[in-house]
A and B are shown apart, each in its own frame.
Chain A
Amino acid sequence: MTELASTNALRATMDAYYRSLADAALRKTAPVAWCTSAGPVELLRALGFAVHFPENHAAMMGAARTASRYLPLAHAQGYSQDICSYLTSDIGAYLAGESPLKAYGLERAPAPDVLVFNTNQCRDVRDWFEWYGRELHVPVVGVHSPRSIDDVTESDIDSVTRQLESLVAPLEQVAGTRLDDARLMAAMRASRDAARLWGTCLGTASARPAPLTFFDGSIHMGPAVVLRGSDDAPAYYRTLLAELEQRVENRVAAVPGETLRLYWDGMPVWGRLRALSTMFAEFHTAVVASTYCNSWAFADLDPAEPWRSVARASLELFIARSEAPKERYIARMVKFYDVDGVIFHDCRTCPNNSNTRYGMPGRITERLGIPTLVLDGDVNDLRCFSDEQARTNIEGFVEQLTDARGATSARGSR
């Protein structure tokens, strides 16, 4: 694998974010809001909140493979092994009095002044935040989004817009300040620019060879998630994009000797990100794109129409959609990135981000004539993932695609 030089800038950007979070929590430099990853973060930034994302916090535990220590603590509280392992990792870490942010001086996640959710992703985020609301006696506010949407309608947008607007007064009260339109527009611009740049970065992987993989994307999407609404995010993505464009120009491959190209649908297996990345590289197979990384490319945010455009973006999000638009989306991506096959990760504890359970892989194969593979696993709970079985499945899939290509070229040469 070819490491991206921008990783250093990424590290600096993320470090600065975590330090600012620690400052807010420890030195009270700003009120702290916790927000779901697809929540109304621009509004929070405009009100001067330092924003913590429990999903990012949980992903850090997954990647560090510490989640397995925390999961049982949440399960013992009555939170099932079958619900979101982000939720159970995060609540478990809280119960253990630990946090991956210790390196930044935080023994625990930064104490919140308010918890803000959007159920466009799943119901679990609300339950998750309400647990903390009860535990910490902190107000919980949120947007109750419709889910499994076919076409996003004006009435859906109206509903979410009104809910977003209704958050302003309680959040102003917690922040102790009035919402400034200019600050909101600035946050919207920063979000939009970051989203567009991030989308362009991901789009470079349509080149052959691809300059980055899904595994790179899972790491480099950090600013697109936690720094939405901040100028630091577009600044970072300008750096990354320059490097990726240079790679495309010089034909530098993220996976040297790229032979096969795959698309990944579903969550990463955080505790095996490196291992899977290495395995695919060993097979000269580039997982060039994913639904997951592209989910943070909210390109249509409009500073001139903040409420409605945030509402529309949150409703148009892949995870909030029904099977038909999801299928069309994956089909578009498969064509755009020109892949040989699709891997669907059936994430045990995240049904909302597992598009394997209502026949999608079969429909994609039928619709596009492209092979698909379903991998069993989980985002954070490694007890749901078998290294051996995953390896055999992946290696077998690579064999199948390679043989099929050989058979096609043999037929073509006759």
Chain B
Amino acid sequence: MKFYAGVDSGSWTTKAAVIDEEGHVLGTAVTRSGADLAAAAERAYATALANSGRTGDDIEAVWSTGFGRNTIPFADGSRTELDCHGRGVAYYLKGPLVVIDVGGQDAKVIRLDAAGHRLSHRMNRKCAAGTGSFLDEISLRLGIDIGELNALGRGATESLELSSFCTVFAGTELLTLIRSGKRPADLAMAAYRSLVKRIVSMDVLEGRIAATGGVVAYHPIVVELIGAACRGEVVVPPHPQEIGAFGAALAALAACEEHDTSDTAELVQP
């Protein structure tokens, strides 16, 4: 049995995944990216290895993805997160698919055909609205830990709207609502609605939809609201936060298989 690994160096967190040659996930890890991306990648990889019960010597190849994909010294190759998120989701779900990835710093909509090949992608504009940063900002304004936001939103009873396109303006709107005595639970829900409104305006979201990313992993409300906006079911694949790292591991596996095939092909050429 051969083993492969992927590391997703994201803006907030670095994820790692170890898989076997059939694509089964043996171990994953998530760590803060911080300012030293290479060190974060080392940490995440070491933890994922430990969680998988493997050592570095067992691994055939490690591929990287994420915005820091080119800063990981031990990576044997890299693919963009657009590729790896699509690849990771396509392993679990049959296409055609629309993959929505909501990360800390960006949001992506990736279209895949029936075979899992990418047809197009859209990324958010240079703006925090529609990303995890927006939820962080809102949590700060509400004076709570981001980990409490989803539970807080569950208690919403009044439907409030944040109409602004801009994170700073939305923060100001929030202050106005706080001053007018609105409940934190309703404000939290309003923030989620605002985030989702931004995401669903990135592309036409029809057909089978899958949601991934850290925001999706920790804020199930976002998935429900996307589903409501698109009037359809939104599927969350296993380990949605580490799906990019998983996709990178699958890319490593594919590259090694291709290499093996081409070696063989070379041998049979006249």
Is the beta-carbon distance between A371 and B119 smaller than 8 angstroms?
yes
B179 on the interface (CB 8 Å rule)?
no
Q: Which of B67, B80, B106, B122 contacts A399 (CB 8 A)?
A: B80
Q: Is A388's beta carbon under 8 Å from chain B?
A: yes
* Whole-angstrom CA separation of A396 from B120 in the bound complex: 9
Query: Of B121, B125, B126, which contacts A400 at CB under 8 A?
Result: B121
Q: Which residue of A lies closest to B80 (CB)?
A: A396
Tell me, in angstroms, the Cα distance from A395 to B81 when the chains sit together. 10
Q: Which of A384, A388, A396 interacts with B121 by CB under 8 Å? A: A396
Contact between chains at A399 and B123 (CB < 8 Å): no
Among B67, B117, B119, B125, the residue within 8 A (CB) of A392 is B67
Interface contact B118-A400, CB-CB below 8 Å: yes
Q: How large is the interface on A (under 10, 10 to 19, 20 to 34, 35 or more residues)?
A: 20 to 34
* A386 neighbours in B (Cβ, 8 Å): 126
What separation, in Å, do the CA atoms of A386 and B11 have in the docked complex?
A: 14
- B residues 89-128 near A (Cβ < 8 Å) are 106, 115, 117-123, 125-126
Judge whether B234 is part of the interface by a CB distance below 8 angstroms: no
> Which residues of B are found within 8 Å of A388, using beta-carbon distances?
67
What is the CB-to-nearest-CB distance from A385 to chain B, in angstroms, rounded to a whole number? 8
Name which of B67, B80, B106 has the most chain A CB atoms within 10 A of its CB.
B80
The answer, yes or no, to whether A404 is at the interface (CB within 8 Å) is yes
Q: Does B82 contact A (CB under 8 A)?
A: yes
Q: Does B8 contact A (CB under 8 A)?
A: no
Bound Cα distance from A396 to B122, whole angstroms:
10
**Does B83 lie at the interface of the complex (its beta carbon under 8 Å from any beta carbon of A)?**
yes
* CA gap between A395 and B67 in the complex, in Å: 11
- On whether the beta carbons of A399 and B79 are closer than 8 Å, the reply is yes
Minimum distance in angstroms from A231 CB to a CB of chain B: 45
Question: Which residues of chain A come closer than 8 Å to B123, judged between CB atoms?
Answer: 389, 392-393
CB–CB A389/B106 < 8 A: yes
Is there an interface contact between B115 and A407, defined as CB atoms closer than 8 Å?
Answer: yes
Most buried by B among A371, A399, A404: A399
Contacts of B118 in A (CB 8 A): 396, 399-400, 403-404
Residues of A within 8 A of B79 (CB): 399
CB distance from A246 to the nearest CB of B (A): 36
Are B83 and A399 in contact (CB-based, < 8 A)?
yes
A376 within 8 A of B: yes
A392-B126 contact, Cβ under 8 Å, with A400-B118, A403-B117, A407-B115: no
- Give A376's nearest chain B residue, CB to CB: B125
B residues 217-267 near A (Cβ < 8 Å) are none
Residues in chain B near residue A397, CB distance under 8 A: 121
Nearest CB in chain B to that of A377: its residue: B126
A-chain residues with CB within 8 Å of residue B122 when the two chains form the complex: 374
B126-181 interface with A by 8 A CB criterion? 126
Chain B 62-90 against A: per-residue CB contact (8 Å), 1 yes, 0 no? 00000100000000000111110000000
Contacts of A403 in B (CB 8 A): 83, 117-118
Residues A376 and B121 in contact in the complex (CB < 8 Å), given A392-B82, A399-B79: no
Q: Which A116-135 residues have C-beta < 8 A from chain B?
A: none
Would you call B126 and A389 a contact (CB within 8 A)? yes
The answer to whether B83 and A392 touch across the interface, beta carbons within 8 angstroms, is no
Looking at the assembled complex, report how far the CB atom of A144 sits from the nearest CB atom of chain B, in whole angstroms.
33
Does the CB pair B80–A404 fall under 8 Å? no
Residues of chain A within 8 A (CB-CB) of B121 are 393, 396-397, 400
Write the A339-380 contact mask toward B (1 if CB under 8 angstroms, else 0). Answer: 000000000000000000000000001000001101010000
Is B115 in contact with A392, judged by CB distance below 8 angstroms? no
Residues of A close to B67: CB separation below 8 A: 388, 392
Please, which residues of chain B bring their CB within 8 A of the CB of A372?
A: 120
Q: Which residues of B contact A395 (CB under 8 A)?
A: 80
How far does the Cβ of A350 sit from chain B's closest Cβ, in whole Å? 16
Q: Give Cα distance in the complex from A397 to B82, angstroms.
A: 9
Q: Given the complex, which residues of B lie within 8 Å of A392, measured CB to CB?
A: 67, 80-82, 123
In the assembled complex, the Cα of A389 lies from the Cα of B128 at a distance in Å of: 13
A392 to B: closest C-beta gap in Å: 5
How many angstroms from the CA of A224 to the CA of B121 in the assembled complex? 36
CA distance A384 to B125 in the complex (A): 10
B193 CB to nearest A CB, Å: 25
B265 shortest CB reach to chain A, Å = 12
- Whole-angstrom distance between the Cβ of B145 and the nearest chain A Cβ: 28
> What is the minimal beta-carbon distance from B77 to any residue of chain A, in angstroms?
12
Cα-based distance from A376 to B124 in the complex (angstroms): 9
A365 CA to B120 CA, complexed, in Å: 10
CB distance from B86 to the nearest CB of A (A): 9
Asked, given contacts A376-B125, A386-B126, A389-B106, whether A371 binds B82 with beta carbons under 8 Å apart, the answer is no
> Whole-angstrom distance between the alpha carbons of A374 and B83 in the complex?
17
A371 contacts B120, C-beta separation under 8 Å: yes
Q: Which single member of B80, B82, B120, B126 contacts A376 (CB below 8 Å)?
A: B126
A282: min CB distance to chain B, Å: 11
Report whether B126 and A384 are in contact in the complex, using a CB–CB cutoff of 8 Å: yes
Roughly how many angstroms separate A37 CA and B127 CA in the complex, as a whole number? Answer: 33
**Distance, CA A385 to CA B126, complexed state (A):** 8
The chain B residue with its CB closest to the CB of A383 is B126
Cα–Cα distance between A403 and B251 once the two chains are bound (Å)? 12
* CA gap between A39 and B128 in the complex, in Å: 40
- Closest chain B residue to A397 by CB distance? B121
Within 8 Å CB of B120, what residues of A? 365, 371-372, 400
Other contacts beyond A384-B126, A400-B121, A404-B117: 5, CB < 8 A: A376-B126, A389-B126, A392-B67, A396-B83, A396-B118
Nearest first, the 4 closest Cβ-Cβ pairs linking A and B are A396-B82, A396-B80, A400-B118, A386-B126
16 of the cross-chain contacts (CB-CB < 8 Å) are A374-B122, A384-B126, A389-B106, A389-B123, A392-B123, A395-B80, A396-B82, A399-B79, A399-B82, A399-B118, A400-B83, A400-B121, A403-B83, A403-B117, A404-B117, A404-B118
**What is B's interface to A at a CB cutoff of 8 Å?**
67, 79-83, 106, 115, 117-123, 125-126
